[in-house]
Amino acid sequence: MRPGTFSGIADGKGWRCPEKSCKKFTSMRIGSFFEGVHIPLTELVEFLYFWADNLQTTAFLHKNLGWGEHTIADWKNFLRDLCVEEFLVNPQPIGGPGHIVEIDESKFGHRKYSRGRMLSGQWVFGGIDRETKDIFMIPVQDRSAATLVPLIQRYILPGTTILSDEWASYNSIPVASFQHLTVNHSLNFVDPTTGVHTQTVESTWGGAKKRQRNCMTTNPILLDTHLSEVCWQKKYGEASFSNLIMEIRKQYPVV
């Protein structure tokens, strides 16, 4: 197949059979992340850039791209699915020898009364590598050792120095695999003797909770996707766009 310019297909570009007697041609999007999408490719690339740069409000995207609310919501969900693939479906453990990982749990959603009952939010457990900014955030049913310790062993590499508060469940962290240091938050935010603190991971909760409030959900299934997006932005920062392109290439290879 050879590249060519055609009318009547998306972007006006496609692939033509090199045989002179054959008039077959196909869209350049076949087999790609953009297959079956009729939005101009230039607009799609702009959207990817805006999303990666955290310029994601519906008002901003509507003004700059002219897209409707449903189109914007759909494409945000498509990109969140990419994030879920990296951070939840095929997560890479963080930390390792010489690395410090802060861990913490936080409740998403406000307590409120409804028909005489108190509705609690959703607990989320997370950790962040101070040096690399590698991160994980996972909705959990409770904060028991039976729940948290297996997640620590799955998401954090052996040899890591783990910093936490003095929540009782963390007493079960296996000392043979990790060095575990704590800070007593009832007394200090930073331990005056060791300097241990968990302020890095705690500050990360703020952005995650803002996103959760905007999407107005504590449903663990939906919350997963938004937390994965937060992890993406936190991990890649200014390199978010280039890593997004590489992730699309990885998940949607064109052969």
pLDDT tens for 66-82 read 999 999 999 999 999 99
**12 confidence band (pLDDT: 50, 70, 90):** low
Residue 117 is predicted with a pLDDT of 52
Residue 192 lies in a domain: yes
The number of distinct structural domains making up the chain is 2
Residue 51 lies in a domain: no
**127 confidence band (pLDDT: 50, 70, 90):** very high
CA distances, 161 to each of 101, 106, 120, 177 (Å): 6, 21, 32, 9
Residue 15 lies in a domain: yes
User: Model-level pTM?
Assistant: 0.79
Q: Are 10 and 29 in contact (CB under 8 A)?
A: yes
106 and 26 in one domain? no
Q: Residue 1 sits in which domain range?
A: 1-30
107 and 5 in one domain? no
Residue 63 lies in a domain: no
DSSP percent split of the chain into helix, strand, coil, nearest 5: 45, 20, 40
- How is the beta sheet containing 2-5 ordered, strand by strand? 2-5, 13-16, 25-27
Does residue 202 or residue 5 have the better pLDDT?
202
Residue 1 lies in a domain: yes
CATH number for the domain spanning 167: value is 3.30.420.10
Name 180's bridge partners: 162
Residue 181 lies in a domain: yes
Residue 81 lies in a domain: no
**Mean pLDDT for the chain overall:** 87
The amino acid present at 249, given as its one-letter code, is: R
107 and 20 in one domain? no
